[in-house]
Amino acid sequence: MSPPEPRILMTTDAVGGVWTYSTALACRLCGCGYEVTLVTMGPAPRAEQLSAVKDVEGLRVEVTDLALEWMDPEGDDVPRARDELLRIAARIEHDFVHVNGYREALYGFDAPVLVVAHSCVGSWWEACRPGVPMEPKWRPYLDRVGEALGAADAWVAPTHAYRGWIEKFYAPVRDGEVIWNGIAPMQAAAHKRKIVLAAGRGWDEAKNLSPLARVAPTLPWPVRLAGPVQNDHGSAIQLHGLEQLGQLPHAQLLDEMRQAAIFVAPALYEPFGLGVLEAAANGCALVLADIPTFRELWHGAALFADPHNDEALAQAIARLCGDDELRNGLQRKAEKRALRYSLKATLDDYRALYDRLMPRLQPRAAAPFYAEVRE
């Protein structure tokens, strides 16, 4: 009997791009024979999010109400979260833990632990509120992030630029690895509409959508925003210059990208930007904030603008609206560049990393395993 593929416990959340990343990776891992238990933290996934993964053989989704660490900076929910995750780990007889956060790496799992640094409040704060001291309540959060990076058997960042920031800020004891996020191949539409599209949480300062709302009335084409403008606490940001589509199911968002000729991301902070990648794969010409991560991924395949300069943003968008040759050329370049960030490459890199970190598994008797959602 040959050694089995491992059973992986993977944490995730349903708030942003981590859900897209983790479900895509988990589904591909299951297709390779792995068994993955995906444990959600924070707000529960929407019905359409769960529906997309419910029939994947080998994938189990455990929905919890455990606090996301950036929603619980002082760590009040840590004891409960530790107990719950260790119970799940013992029940599934896990071989490996893939943490899409930080502090869960400190919970004492009896298996190798990988931390993937998708984002953190420290880097968000430095990008969005430069020169403003962090509130004292964030000190325990920052301490735990640093401790988790040190406790993990390995850690990964989605770009070289973000890995550099993590190393500078937290000085982890071991070097991080870079694994670009990836998506499955997509088919761009043959004909595009004269639409400018943006996507993201309107209430998040990092997305920096207020400048886009201010310049939208001056642009020759309508500007649409896909994403919520109200956060979980009920507060909303006013973005009157944009045609607001609200929170869309993922399939509908991709359809908006297929139709739009231009995609804009004026973000102050984005460690990777899966939405930009999906827009590029769907044949959108890109106008991006001139920040290190976007430069790393899209140099030569996008127009860049200073995210603090409304006029520069408006000029870049208007230039693409008015120049068919430039716009069509950038659409082709973005679509070609998107092929570099494939889900297959992401999967291969993670499997190679898992293999290096895990001891050789012993053969075991086959056991039934099925998709399960616990609510």
Residue of 124, 99, 120, 55 whose CA lies nearest to 370:
55
Residue owning tokens 């930009």:
276
Regarding whether 331 and 319 lie in a shared domain, the answer is: yes
Residue of 75, 47, 71, 82 whose CA lies nearest to 61:
47
> CA 366 to CA 229: how far, in whole Å?
48
Tokens representing residue 12 in the block: 């995730």
- Residue 291 resides in a domain: yes
Regarding whether 296 and 228 lie in a shared domain, the answer is: yes
- Residue 187 resides in a domain: no
- Residue 188 resides in a domain: no
Regarding whether 198 and 105 lie in a shared domain, the answer is: no
Regarding whether 171 and 258 lie in a shared domain, the answer is: no
- Residue 122 resides in a domain: yes
Query: Could you list the mean pLDDT of each consecutive 10-residue stretch along the chain, which spans 375 residues?
Result: 78 90 96 95 92 92 94 94 96 95 96 97 96 95 96 97 96 96 90 96 92 96 90 66 91 96 98 97 98 98 97 98 98 97 97 89 46 41
> CA 195 to CA 192: how far, in whole Å?
8
Regarding whether 113 and 203 lie in a shared domain, the answer is: no
How many structural domains are present in the chain? 2
Query: How many other C-beta atoms are found inside a 10 Å radius of the C-beta of residue 165?
Result: 21
Q: What pLDDT is recorded for position 203?
A: 86
Regarding whether 292 and 348 lie in a shared domain, the answer is: no
- Could you tell me if 14 and 45 are in contact, meaning their C-beta atoms sit under 8 angstroms apart? yes
Residue of 233, 248, 183 whose CA lies nearest to 203:
233
- Residue 267 resides in a domain: yes
Q: What pLDDT is recorded for position 3?
A: 60
Q: How far is CA 173 from its chain centroid?
A: 25
> CA 210 to CA 311: how far, in whole Å?
13
Residue of 20, 17, 119 whose CA lies nearest to 70:
119
- Could you tell me if 266 and 209 are in contact, meaning their C-beta atoms sit under 8 angstroms apart? yes
Query: How many other C-beta atoms are found inside a 10 Å radius of the C-beta of residue 81?
Result: 23
Residue of 40, 73, 86, 76 whose CA lies nearest to 59:
40
- Could you tell me if 284 and 258 are in contact, meaning their C-beta atoms sit under 8 angstroms apart? no
Bridge partners, 114 (sequence order): 98, 154
- If you ran DSSP here, which 8-state letter would residue 138 be given? G
Query: How many other C-beta atoms are found inside a 10 Å radius of the C-beta of residue 150?
Result: 16
- Residue 284 resides in a domain: yes
Tokens representing residue 266 in the block: 């004026």
> CA 310 to CA 316: how far, in whole Å?
10
- Residue 2 resides in a domain: no
Residue owning tokens 């297929």:
258
Regarding whether 369 and 253 lie in a shared domain, the answer is: no
What values do phi and psi take at 291, rounded to 5? -125, 160
Question: Could you tell me how many residues make up the chain?
Answer: 375
> CA 286 to CA 304: how far, in whole Å?
8
SS3 127: helix
The domain that holds 78 is classified in CATH as 3.40.50.2000
Regarding whether 346 and 334 lie in a shared domain, the answer is: no
Q: What pLDDT is recorded for position 364?
A: 46
Phi-psi group of 93: left, alpha or beta (phi > 0 → left; psi -120 to 50 → alpha; rest → beta):
left
List, in sequence order, the alpha helices (H) in the chain: 17-31, 47-51, 78-92, 121-128, 139-151, 160-170, 210-215, 250-259, 274-281, 292-298, 310-322, 324-338, 343-357
Regarding whether 203 and 168 lie in a shared domain, the answer is: no
Q: What pLDDT is recorded for position 232?
A: 58
Regarding whether 89 and 71 lie in a shared domain, the answer is: yes
- Could you tell me if 273 and 137 are in contact, meaning their C-beta atoms sit under 8 angstroms apart? no
Tokens representing residue 230 in the block: 């109200």
What values do phi and psi take at 7, rounded to 5? -95, 120
- Residue 138 resides in a domain: yes
Query: How many other C-beta atoms are found inside a 10 Å radius of the C-beta of residue 240?
Result: 9
Q: What pLDDT is recorded for position 196?
A: 98
Structural domain including 59 reads 7-182+342-374
Regarding whether 167 and 289 lie in a shared domain, the answer is: no
What angle do helix axes 139-151 and 160-170 make, rounded to 10 degrees? Answer: 110
Run of H or E including 25:
helix 17-31
SS3 163: helix
Q: What pLDDT is recorded for position 368?
A: 41
Regarding whether 275 and 312 lie in a shared domain, the answer is: yes
